[in-house]
């Protein structure tokens, strides 16, 4: 059996540089020509591999200044309106489409150190049938992960629909449920 041309390193680098198109077809279009990699090959690799949020963090953590940056959260719905049966596809609201669409919901956490420099540090797939979590619960989990990984953001930026007094307290008072009352950076 031949070894796949796609790898965890290639896929993580692709996720690092792409901002809108996360598909296997997109990766095959931008991969170095000498790789001669098809989207089918990438899809097969993805179906047999499990790229986890920790893999993105491990690939990027050595490259960032954990004390100087802004933690940016952004969610995106990858449109899968033509898919009949596909894992992770749910009906959900898309801001880009201004309505409910069939797609894969992804919540991204980026570390911004300048106007042009964004580095992915975490992500979650929104799939309530599998994990039972809301996007807000994933947001809180990602904030907790950021703290445990030693990130000390100067600011946290997210869409206003993530805002609530509870989440403000969660970030301002140390990402806890009241038991832990220290600033994010401590």
Tens digits of per-residue pLDDT, 125-177? Answer: 888 888 888 888 888 899 889 989 999 888 888 877 666 655 555 555 454 44
> Strand pairing partners for 124?
107
Lowest model confidence (mean pLDDT) among 6-10, 26-30, 31-35, 164-168: 164-168
Are residue 151 and residue 67 in the same domain, yes or no? yes
Are residue 184 and residue 123 in the same domain, yes or no? yes
Are residue 26 and residue 79 in the same domain, yes or no? no
What's the mean pLDDT when you consider all of the chain? 77
Are residue 33 and residue 57 in the same domain, yes or no? no
Task: State which residues form the domain around 31.
Answer: 1-51
Are residue 157 and residue 138 in the same domain, yes or no? yes
Give residues with Cβ within 8 angstroms of 100, minimum separation 6: 91, 92, 93, 94
Are residue 89 and residue 181 in the same domain, yes or no? yes
Are residue 76 and residue 40 in the same domain, yes or no? no
Least Cα distance to 16 among 68, 47, 49, 57 occurs for 57
Are residue 82 and residue 163 in the same domain, yes or no? yes
Are residue 89 and residue 168 in the same domain, yes or no? yes
Q: How many domains does the chain have?
A: 2
Are residue 95 and residue 28 in the same domain, yes or no? no
Least Cα distance to 159 among 115, 78, 96 occurs for 96
Q: Is the model's pTM score more than 0.85?
A: no
Mean pLDDT confidence for 46-56: 77
What does residue 53 show for φ and ψ, rounded to 5 degrees? -55, -35
């Amino acid at each position: 059996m031949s070894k796949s041309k796609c790898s965890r390193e290639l896929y993580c680098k692709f996720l690092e540089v792409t901002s809108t198109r996360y598909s296997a077809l997109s990766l095959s279009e931008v991969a170095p020509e000498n790789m001669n990699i098809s989207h089918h090959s990438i899809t097969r690799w993805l179906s047999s591999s499990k790229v986890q949020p920790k893999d993105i963090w491990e690939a990027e953590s050595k490259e960032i200044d954990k004390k100087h940056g802004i933690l940016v959260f952004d969610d995106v719905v990858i449109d899968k309106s033509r898919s009949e049966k596909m894992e992770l596809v749910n009906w959900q609201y898309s801001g880009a489409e201004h309505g409910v669409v069939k797609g894969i919901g992804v919540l991204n956490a980026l570390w911004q150190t300048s106007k042009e420099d964004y580095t992915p540090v975490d992500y979650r797939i929104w799939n309530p049938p599998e994990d039972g979590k809301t996007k807000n619960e994933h947001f809180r989990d990602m904030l907790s992960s950021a703290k445990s990984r030693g990130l000390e953001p100067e600011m946290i930026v997210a869409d206003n629909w993530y805002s609530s007094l509870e989440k403000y307290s969660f970030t301002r008072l140390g990402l806890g449920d009241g038991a832990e009352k220290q600033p994010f950076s401590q």
